[in-house]
Amino acid sequence: MMITYEKKYLMDTYNRYPIMLVKGEGTRVWDSEGNAYLDFVAGIAVNSLGHCHPALVEAIKKQAETLIHCSNLYWNEKQIELARMISENSFGGKVFFANSGAEANEGAIKLARKYASLKYGGKRYKIITAKNSFHGRTFGALTATGQEKYHKGFGPLLAGFKYVPLNDIEALYEAVDDEVCAIMLEVIQGEGGIHEATPEYVKAVRKICDENDLLFILDEVQTGIGRTGKLFGYEHYGVVPDIMTLAKGLGGGFPIGAIVAKEDKAVFKPGDHASTFGGNPLACAAGIAVLNEVTKDGFLEGVDKKGKYFREGLETLQKKHKVVKEIRGKGLMVGCEVDLEDASEIVLKALEKGLLINSVSHNVLRFVPPLIVTEEEIDEALQILDDVLSEIRF
């Protein structure tokens, strides 16, 4: 009945799976029929602490009883505290809070243009991004996204973007001209199929930005907050961006996004940018609870260890099932490319057996389980995948 109502009252913007989730705890969710599922989607890398983590629930409950929202016309202590935690655990920048990754990326685009306008009088405004990237679905973020399939039907798009192949340093050098103000990058392309930027490429981006006075923007919406086994993805590469965007795992399930910028690059003034809900006390209380857990001794090392354990298991399946082509990713952000035009049958069969996964770029299975997942639960997921791959006729 409720799914019938969904067709009647909700816009048709999602290809939804035929279940309705009603409850979650830890790494598992339950549907309206009482069926349990091991969740390796985690809200698309959002439920960093799993479902209904006691520390997160308590923080939200306590804040909801105290102060849910106040305008940014006034200070609120939770916003200041979360900004401090992000800054002190990253590269010491200043923070602006939004409500999503797309909003954070919109703000980063605006900040880059504002910085260039102040320094170069409006002569620099173009931003280079990677082909196959994904930065969101609002207009600036959509244009920054280097995938034509997301652009169709929405033109004309925002002017001033160039796209180059990921990991092609020569193409990057060729794209830089006197009108470019920034390079925007994901160190691992999430929606693009879990493709990693090489260390050489990331270092080259930093070098090119330094040589040409460009801003280096890292979209850490999916890679941030421990997903890769480091608190932030850039820490794997020995470089520091000028601007970083966060969202997804930061709120552990509660909507929040953030822009982090080096102090000398944080040039917004009152009136330049704003968000009615951005940095509200409830969202920031959630973010504080998440960071308190993720930065505990041994937590990130555990994510890295479990990520390697999972990859080893997938590599074992690769030897057994010829349809598995390649395993990619870092930490608990893992992609499994299969030799199929469409991996949807694998996703549906896994769902039927109690495992939630999804596919990106049609033929890449994406695994982004809660960071609290155990090795026993990873074994359970691997067994279900093994069963599915054994049953399907390719």
**277 and 364 part of one domain:** no
Number of domains in the chain: 2
Residue 1 predicted with pLDDT over 60: no
Domain co-membership, 161 together with 252: yes
Catalytic residue (one of 40, 134, 161, 254): 134
User: Per-residue confidence at 122, pLDDT binned at 50, 70, 90?
Assistant: confident
CATH number of the domain that 184 lies in? 3.40.640.10
Residues belonging to the binding site for N(2)-acetyl-L-ornithine are 137, 275
Same domain for 144 and 269, yes or no, is: yes
Q: How far is CA 43 from the centre of its chain?
A: 11
Q: Is 225 left (phi over 0), alpha (psi -120 to 50) or beta?
A: left
Residue 3: pLDDT band (50, 70, 90) is low
Query: Of 274, 294, 314, at which residue does a domain stop?
Result: 294
Does one domain contain both 79 and 207?
A: yes
Domain boundary among 240, 265, 294: 294
Please indicate whether residue 265 is annotated as part of the active site: no
Claim to verify: residue 241 and residue 277 sit in the same structural domain: yes
Give the model's pLDDT for residue 5.
Answer: 73
| Tokens of residue 389, six digits | 């791959």
Q: Which of 259, 294, 329 is the last residue of a domain?
A: 294
Question: pTM score > 0.95 for this model?
Answer: yes
- Res. 4: pLDDT tops 80: no
| pLDDT value at residue 379 | 98
Q: Which of 162, 248, 265, 306 is catalytic?
A: 248
61 confidence band (pLDDT: 50, 70, 90): very high
pLDDT digits (tens, 9 = 90+) for 227-255: 999 999 999 999 999 999 999 999 999 99
> What average pLDDT score do residues 130-145 get?
98
Q: Is position 310 annotated as part of the catalytic site?
A: no
Q: Quick one: 36 and 108 in the same domain?
A: no
Sequential DSSP letters for 145-178: SB-HHHHTTS-S--S-EEEE-TT-HHHHHHH--T
What average pLDDT does the chain have?
A: 97
Q: Are 291 and 249 in contact (CB under 8 A)?
A: no
164 and 39 in one domain?
no
pLDDT tens readout for residues 37-60: 999 999 999 999 999 999 999 999
| Same domain for 101 and 238 | yes
Parent domain of 146: 55-294
152, pLDDT greater than 80:
yes
For 100, phi then psi, to 5°, come to -160, 170
Q: Model confidence over 180-221: pLDDT tens digits?
A: 999 999 999 999 999 999 999 999 999 999 999 999 999 999
Distance CA 251, CA 287 (A): 5
Query: For residue 266, is pLDDT > 70?
Result: yes
- Read off the CATH number of the domain in which 305 is found: 3.90.1150.10
Q: Which of 39, 40, 78, 219 is catalytic?
A: 219
On the 0-12 / 13-18 / 19+ scale of CB atoms within 10 A, 122 is: exposed
Q: Residue 232 catalytic?
A: no
> In angstroms, rounded to a whole number, what is the distance separating the alpha carbons of residues 391 and 93?
51
Q: Which residues pair with 245 in a beta bridge?
A: 219, 259
- Percent of the chain residues past pLDDT 90, beyond the cut: 96
Does 175 lie in the same domain as 123?
Answer: yes
For residues 185 and 136, membership in a common domain is answered with yes
CA distance 67 to 62: 9
Residues 177 and 321 in one domain: no
Gyration radius of the chain's alpha carbons: 21
Pick out the residues of the known binding site. 101-102, 134, 137, 219-222, 275-276
Same domain, 199 and 270: yes
Mean pLDDT over 382-386 rounds to: 98
